[in-house]
Structure 1
């Protein structure tokens, strides 16, 4: 077995042990593959030491209320992402799922209110620079993919009393659910009380609020159904 084939074989074995089944691009050199394997191995070692399990933990990751965190096999947390798990239920990241770099999962906006929490299914991925506010609870299903700059808000401010400052009127919490097999484009915003059902595509830049049927394409501000998928 030549060196290039050996490197590719080792990489595939390591990847598949995390629950992923991928093919390596033939244009990648053995040196490039080896560098990525080395980087991921360091992240896995970091996860094994600090989280006591087969989890890829990137550089500079910060975890709060770690005892309320649960990671499936091969879950991945990108560099400099923060997860705040101070919630009424466990914060769960499923097997082979990935949170991107420079993101934030926040469950509790203040000491006056403990948030509900966050659950992410298996084989799902969220791009870099995301913000997921889980005060009212956020559930993301299996096989969901989301581009960078995703923002999810499960809390809204009251504002109807014109005689009282908005910041003094308090908040309303309402859950957000993204069901299995959805694709959320880059810079999508999902507001409190929203349910996105299975096999739905959300166009980049959309602002989504409401309860939508499955098998549709959503887009716009506010988002509406652009197409039904057969």
Structure 2
């Protein structure tokens, strides 16, 4: 695991690095974020406790901001200058200088 200079990691954040998590310099990681470079297998016929991990590196660039409660899954990449909005779950790539967020739809139904 590599963490660059002047990077801030908020309270209650978790980084699980089975092999490779890298975070650039001057990046802000808010509270309650989770970063995982591995995923548990789910193959039929094999008990869950015996499943193997699949491991893919996670990279967070420099000058990035991960909002509160962001989860980065194995294989995620947040390129330099990007912002990931609060509560977002990311497995793909947040391209350089982009803002990425997960839309939440709140549906209301009248009481009967």
TM-score higher than 0.5 here?
A: yes
1:198 to 58, 64, 80: 80
Say which structure, 1 or 2, has more relative contact order (CA 8 Å, 6+ apart). Answer: 2
1:150 to 33, 46, 61: 33
Query: Which consecutive residues of structure 1, in runs of 5 or more, have no partner in the other structure?
Result: 1-117, 222-230
Q: Could you tell me how far 1:216 is from its partner in structure 2?
A: 0.6
The number of equivalent residue pairs is 103
Asked which structure has the greater CA Rg, the reply is: 1
Q: Deviations over 1:57-101 (max 9, x none)?
A: xxxxxxxxxxxxxxxxxxxxxxxxxxxxxxxxxxxxxxxxxxxxx
CA RMSD of aligned residues (A): 1.2
User: Is 1:215–2:97 an aligned residue pair?
Assistant: yes
Alignment match, 1:177: 59
Q: Deviations over 1:113-170 (max 9, x none)?
A: xxxxx110011101101110010311000110011011111110111x2222233121
Q: TM-score, normalised by structure 1?
A: 0.43
More strand by share: 2
Q: TM-score, normalised by structure 2?
A: 0.86
Which segments of structure 1 move beyond 6 Å, counting only runs of 4 or more? Answer: none
Q: What is the alpha-carbon distance in structure 1 between the residues aligned to residue 93 and residue 100 of structure 2?
A: 12
Q: Secondary structure at the match of 1:142?
A: coil
